[in-house]
Structure 1
Amino acid sequence: MERIQTVNPRRVEWCLGDRGADILACARETGISESNLGKLLDGDYHPTVNQLERLAEFFGRSVLFFLDASDVPEKGMHSLAFRSILNQKPELTPKIRLLIERVERQRDIFVSLRKEIDEESLPRFVAPKINPKDVPGAAEKVRKWLRLGDKNDFQTYRQAVESRGILVFRSNGYLGQWQIAKGSPILGFSLFHSACPVIFVKKARFESRQSFTLFHELGHIILHRKSWIDDESSLSSAEGHEAESNRFAGLVLVPDALLDEVPDRVRPHEVSEFDAWLEPYRRQWGVSSEVILRRLLDVGRLTKRDYNAYRDWCSRLEPAIEDSGGNRQYRYREPRHLFGDPFVRVVLTSLSNQKITLNRASTFLDNLKIHDLHQLEQYCASV
C-alpha cells in the first residue's frame, strides 16, 4: 500500500492545537490509531493516501497543506471575521470553528465565480444609510430596503435578504459537514464582508425561530458591521449589541403598523391561550408568539408580569420532538435549501459557461452526485 513520505509533522501538530483537539479525538474521527498518530508527530510514521485524506478532512485543510515542508505562517491563517467570532466565544467547539471556515470558503467561491461569469444581474451588497444608534429608524429603513410585504415566511424573508447581495445559508437537518448539532446552543452567525456578507442560520423545527435568527444576524451586519455568533442566550439578551439586534429583528418582523392589528380587547386572561389569540398574526407574519408579545411589551401594551408568565408557561411545556432529518429522496434540492438560490445559480451558470468542470460544480454543491446535479439544473430552470 502506497504511503506518503513527505507529510510535515509540524503542520499536523499545529492543526491539533489550532482546532483544540487531542490525539484521542483525532484517532476516533480519522480511524488512525493513537499509536500511529503519535509516531506521525515524531516523524516515524507515514500515512497512506486514504489516511492523509481523512486527516485533511478532519482539520478542514487540503492534502497539500500537510505536504508543505515549511512551518505554518500564523499570520493570515484565519480571517478577521473568524478571529472576531473566536474572540467573542473562545470556547467554540472544533466543529463549529470548522463550519465557520467552511462557510467563508463558500463565500469566497461565490465571489470568485461571480467575477468570472461577469454576472451583472446579480445583486451587490450596498448597506442602507442608517443611524446605528436609532434602532427603530434603522429597522424601518431596512424593511423598505428589503421591500417586505405584510405576509411572509422564512423563505420570503430569506429571498428578500438575498436580493440585497447577502448570502443566507441554512444548516442541514441531517448529520453532515453543514449541520449544527441539535444539542448545540448555537443558533446562527454572521460573517461581515464589505462585498458579500453571509448569514448562517441553524435549521429549526419552527421556521419562525429561523426568521428571528436571520434578522438578528442581519442586525449585526447593518447596525454593527461586525461578524458575530449567537447562541440561545444571545437572542434573549437585554444588553449591548445583542439587545440592539434583538430589538432590530422584532421591529423589522413586526413594525408598528402590523402590531396595531393585534386586538387588545380580546386578549385572553390565561397566558396558555396567548398562542391561539395570536395564531392568525403568527401565520401571516411568519413569527413566533414571543416576538409579538415582546413588541407589545416594548410599546407598553403588555405587562412584564404577563410576558414573563407566558415564557414560564412555555418553559414547562414538553419540548417538541425534533425530526431525524427525513429521507433524502430530493437530494438534488438540498444545495438550494442549504446555500440559497444565488449561490446555486452562480455555480450552475459557471458550469454552463464552461468556467468550471462538472466535478468542481459537484464539490461546490455539497458533493452532489452527477445525476443529482443534472436534476438540480432542471429544477432551477423550472422555478
Structure 2
Amino acid sequence: MSIETKNIIVEKVKTSKIDQVDFDNLAFGSVFTDHMVVCTFKNGEWETPTIMPYQPITLDPSSKIFHYGQSIFEGMKAYKDKDNDIYLFRPLDNFKRLNISAERMCIPQIPEEYFMNSLTTLLQLDKEFIPTKEGSSLYIRPFMFASGNGFHASPANEYKFIIACAPSGAYFSGKVKVLIEEKYSRSANGGVGFAKTGGNYAGQFYPTQLAVAKGYNQVIWTDDSTHEFIEEAGAMNIFIRINDTLITGPTSDRILDGITRKSILEIAKDQGIKTEVRKITVKEVIEAAENGSLKEMFGAGTAAVISPISSFGFRETDYDLPEIENSFNQRLKKIITDIQYNKSEDKFGWRYKVKV
C-alpha cells in the first residue's frame, strides 16, 4: 500500500529485516535499512520523492552513468542519545555541498525541501536501525547519478536522487600508517577535486593499493604540479600539529571543503588552539619530524571523524609520531562526538533534532 505525506510517497516493507542485524558486530556500510529514498529528474523537473523498500536498481546499459561518470554523493550520520532521540550533524552543509557538486558535474540541483523532508521521513521509518552502541551510528549516503540513456557524450536528460542508509560501527580502528605520494595526483587545478564525485575516489584506489603493498594503510596526497605541498590524507582532509599550532591546507579546486574540517577549525578556535589555514610543504613536515616539533597528524572526515596517523613514509624513510597525552586529536574528537550524540551543549548550533 502507498500513502502520500509531506509530498512524499511512502511504500513500506511488508516485513522488516531488523532482526537480521547484529548491532554488536557492525562493519561499516555493509548492512542496510528497510527503506530508501528514490526521486527522478525527468522532463526538466524533479518528480515526487518516493520512499520504498530497499532494493536493486534497474538501469538500461546505455545509461550515461556507465559511460560518462555523472555521479555525486554525500556522507552523513544519524545518532541516538540516551533517550533514543535522533540527531543529525550539520545536515544543511551536506545538502549545500551536494548541490555544489551537482553544479560542477552538470547535474540538476535538488531542492532543499526534497532533500530534508525525504531524509527525515526515511529516518522516522527506519529509526530502529540507528545503533545505540558507543561509537556506532547510522551512516547515510545521499547520491545522484545520470540515469538517462544514450551513447552521445553529453549530459543526461534524466537523473536519480537516492538516499540509502547503513547501521555502522567505527570506520577505522586504531592509528594508521601513511605514505606521502609523489607520482600520482588526486586532482588538479580547474578539475573536480572539490566535488564529491565518484571518479575522484576511483582514481585513488590504484595508488592506495600500491601503498598498501608496501605496508601502509593510506596515502597523503600532494599537489599535482610540484608534489611539494601536503593536501589530503586518503579520502579525508588532513591536519598537522607543529608544536602547538594546528595547520591544514586551504580549500581549492583540488581539496574538498570538509564539514568535519570546518567543525575542527571552529572548535579549535573556541578552545584557544592556534590554527593556521595555509599551504604546508612536505619539506616543512619532514624537518618538523626530524627536530621533534611535529606532534600530531590526523585525517578528518564524516566516516572516521578523526583518524590519528601514527607514522608516515617518504622516499624510503619512515617517521614515527610521538605518543602524546591529551592530544589535540583526542580532545577535538570528543568535543565533536559529544555534540553529535547530544552529550554536551551545542554552542555552535550544529545539532539537528529529527522529529519522530
- Into which bin does the TM-score normalised by the smaller protein fall? under 0.3
More helix by share: 1
Q: Choose 1 or 2 for highest CA Rg.
A: 1
